Chains A and B, each alone.
Chain A
Amino acid sequence: MSKDRTEEFLSTFKKTADFVKELLQENEKLRYQVASLQEEIKSYKEKGVGIDAHAQCIAKIAELEAEKSEILKKIREVEAENKNFAEKYIEVEQENNNLANLYIASYQLHSTLNFKEVVQIIMEIIINLIGAEIFVLFLLDEKTNELSPIATEGIELDQVTNVKLGKGIIGQSAKSGENYFSDIIPMFDSFNQDNPIACIPLKIKEHTIGVIAIYKLLVQKSTFSELDYELFTLLAGHAATALFSAKLYTESERKLSTIQGFIELLTK
Chain B
Amino acid sequence: MAKIEILVVEDSPTMRQLIVFALKRLKDVNVTEASDGVDGLKKLSNHKFDLMIADINMPIMDGLKLVSLVRQDPKYNDMPIIIVTTEGAEEDRKRGLALGANAYLTKPVQTTQLLSTVKELLKLQ
Residues of chain A at the chain B interface (Cβ within 8 Å)? 93-94, 97, 100-101, 104-105, 107-108, 121, 124-125, 127-131, 133, 218-221
Contacts and interface: CB of A to CB of B under 8 A. Distances in A.
Residue in A97, A100, A128, A218 with the greatest tally of chain B CB atoms within 10 Å: A128
Contact of A129 (B13, B18, B22, B88): B18
B14 A104 contact: yes
A185 to B, nearest CB: 15
A105 B89 CA distance: 26
Among all A-B residue pairs, the 10 with the closest Cβ atoms: A220-B88, A97-B111, A131-B108, A220-B106, A219-B88, A128-B15, A124-B14, A124-B12, A108-B14, A104-B18
A100 B21 contact: yes
Interface string B3-22: 00000000011110110011
A124 B108 CA distance: 11
Nearest to B90: A219
Given A100-B22, A100-B111, A130-B108, A108 B86 contact: no
Contacts of A121: 13-14
Contacts, number: 57
B6 to A, nearest CB: 17
Contacts of A97: 22, 110-112
Contact of B12 (A94, A100, A107, A128): A128
A130 B22 CA distance: 17
29 contacts: A97-B22, A97-B111, A97-B112, A100-B21, A100-B111, A101-B111, A104-B18, A104-B21, A108-B13, A121-B13, A121-B14, A124-B12, A124-B13, A124-B14, A124-B15, A125-B14, A127-B107, A128-B14, A128-B18, A128-B107, A131-B86, A131-B108, A133-B86, A218-B106, A218-B107, A219-B88, A219-B89, A221-B88, A221-B108
Contacts of B108: 128-131, 221
A107 B17 contact: yes
B112 A93 contact: yes
Contacts of A127: 12, 86, 107
Given A101-B111, A128-B108, A219-B88, 14 more contacts: A93-B112, A97-B110, A101-B18, A104-B18, A104-B21, A121-B14, A124-B14, A124-B15, A127-B107, A129-B15, A131-B107, A133-B86, A218-B86, A218-B88
A131 B105 CA distance: 13
A153 B99 CA distance: 28
A65 B85 CA distance: 60
A221 B112 CA distance: 17
B93 to A, nearest CB: 10
Contacts of B13: 108, 121, 124
Interface in B85-125: 86, 88-89, 106-108, 110-112
A117 to B, nearest CB: 9
